[in-house]
Amino acid sequence: MCKLLISYRGAILIFPFMFLLISCSSSNDSRASIQPAISEQLAPILNADHRSDANKARDQYRHPASTLEWFEVESDMTVVEIFPGGGWYTEILAPYLKDRGRLYAAGTDPKSLSSFSRNSAQLFQAKMASNSVYKNVIVTVLAPPEQLDIAPPESADRVLTFRNIHNWMKAGTAEHVFAAMYRALKPGGILGVVEHQGNPDVPQDPKASNGYVNKEYAIKLAEKTGFLFMGASNINGNPKDTKDYPKGVWTLPPTFAMKDVDRAKYEAIGESDRFTMKFMKPLN
């Protein structure tokens, strides 16, 4: 289906028009008819043996199939995953893109002076060596503000980041990372963002010390870099999250920063309320 993109107050509103089908290329039609839905392609990956039971259990909160489908991540695309951490999403993206696409995992510096960064990089590298589904993953370093070459310039169809903006705000490197993501994307490419959603009635802490980020604040960060806001989804929302916990968002699962204190209460709430947004790098 063809889509018309209209700019309105900095947002990109996408309207499908059935009557424009005659102007669509036949190649796009054939691709749509040949390729199964993204969620269908992901189903066997989500249930595969290389994923632990603990990671599979979190699907109910992270909704990977719905999220990647909303980000329009096709299996033949070049994708950059920002700060993959323990590789929760890498377990899904790597086999999905292995045969027809390309995955860059932009992680911490294995030579960093920070022991946390070094250990994170080593653990991720060990995971990449643990199973053949990861054999084509290209690991790069993101250590702002010095190391920002997450992928070749304008090579990526999608750049994805999951629950990372609050870390960049704390470190004062958000502008550097957004610039790196912008540079890596092709014109017309999409930046997909998932983040702990703050209370809009509470002013944003510039350091995001409780782990929550107000949606409008995140939009401004992206737009300041040059991205165009395309829209937001409630795929990863959780209305039970009151966002007012003793140890911030880490009070909730899976971290349980309070350990056994009120654990049943926080288990009943589940993982955090999250916004899911996408932005486009302008075509020119």
Q: How far is CA 228 from CA 66, 189, 239, in A?
A: 22, 11, 27
Q: How confident is the model at residue 36, as a pLDDT?
A: 79
Higher pLDDT pick, 52 / 22:
52
103 pLDDT tier (thresholds 50, 70, 90): very high
As a whole number of angstroms, the distance between CA 276 and CA 71 comes to 9
As a whole number of angstroms, the distance between CA 249 and CA 256 comes to 9
Q: How confident is the model at residue 34, as a pLDDT?
A: 52
Q: Does 284 score more than 50 pLDDT?
A: yes
Q: Output DSSP code: residue 259.
A: T
As a whole number of angstroms, the distance between CA 104 and CA 102 comes to 7
Q: Does 12 score more than 70 pLDDT?
A: no
User: Average model confidence (pLDDT) for the chain?
Assistant: 90
Domain chopping of the chain, boundaries: 1-34, 38-280
Q: How confident is the model at residue 17, as a pLDDT?
A: 37
pLDDT digits (tens, 9 = 90+) for 214-263: 999 999 999 999 999 999 999 999 999 999 999 999 999 999 999 999 99
CB-based contacts of 204-208 (< 8 A; 24+ apart in sequence): 206/169, 207/169, 207/170, 208/165, 208/166, 208/169, 208/170
- Of 6-20, 85-99, 124-138, 193-207, where does mean pLDDT reach its minimum? 6-20
Q: Which of 240, 247, 238, 250 is nearest to 275 (CA)?
A: 238
DSSP E strands, 122-184: 138-141, 156-162
Q: Does 113 score more than 50 pLDDT?
A: yes
Q: Rounded mean pLDDT of 11-20?
A: 39
Q: Does 25 score more than 70 pLDDT?
A: no
The arrangement of strands across the sheet holding 78-82 comes to 3-8, 11-16, 228-233, 274-280, 185-196, 156-162, 78-82, 102-107, 138-141
Q: How confident is the model at residue 35, as a pLDDT?
A: 62
Q: How far is CA 85 from CA 24, 116, 181, in A?
A: 40, 11, 17
Q: How confident is the model at residue 24, as a pLDDT?
A: 38
Q: Does 165 score more than 50 pLDDT?
A: yes
Joined tokens for residue 106: 């932009």
Q: How confident is the model at residue 70, as a pLDDT?
A: 97
Buried b (16+ CB within 10 A) or exposed e, 101-123: bbbbbbbbbbebeeeebeebbee
Label residue 269 exposed, middle or buried (CB < 10 Å: 0-12, 13-18, 19+).
middle
Q: Kind of pairing, strands 156-162 and 185-196?
A: parallel
As a whole number of angstroms, the distance between CA 140 and CA 151 comes to 7
Q: Rounded mean pLDDT of 56-66?
A: 98
Q: Does 18 score more than 70 pLDDT?
A: no
Q: Would you say 69 and 39 are in contact if contact means Cβ atoms under 8 Å apart?
A: yes
Domain 38-280: CATH architecture, name and number where available? 3-Layer(aba) Sandwich (3.40)
pLDDT digits (tens, 9 = 90+) for 26-58: 334 334 445 679 999 999 999 999 999 999 999
265 pLDDT tier (thresholds 50, 70, 90): very high
Q: How confident is the model at residue 7, as a pLDDT?
A: 38
Q: Does 1 score more than 90 pLDDT?
A: no
Residues in the chain: 284
